Amino acid sequence: MKALKPSHKEDKRYLLLEGKQLKKNVPLAIKEFIGTLGLSETVLIWIEENILSINRKSLEKVRAAFLLWPEEIKILKVSGTLKGLRK
């Protein structure tokens, strides 16, 4: 199978998060705010315990979902690369 061209790949943003029970609360917050279809459009991938990869187009929706969630989920930093996020 051929690799995708760079123009066909989805742009990602990496989020550095802070909060309690992130692996449980993050998908629930997004699903409650934008629904199951919206959760699938975010292409949610956990890189590390507190680093999350999402689709660039859904960044504002994810931020809004975290603000409305009753338990605190803070976005400490947003970056287009993991190297930039860890600095």
Rounded-to-integer distance, Cα 75 and Cα 58, Å = 14
Whole-model pTM: value is 0.88
In a domain? residue 51: yes
User: What pLDDT is stored for residue 6 in this prediction?
Assistant: 86
Give me the CATH number covering residue 19: 3.30.70.3250
Number of domains in the chain: 1
pLDDT at 8: 86
Distance set, CA 14 to CA 2, 58, 63 (Å):
26, 12, 13
pLDDT tens-place string over residues 21-78: 999 999 999 999 999 999 999 999 999 999 999 999 999 999 999 999 999 999 999 9
The answer to the question of residue 61 being in a domain is: yes
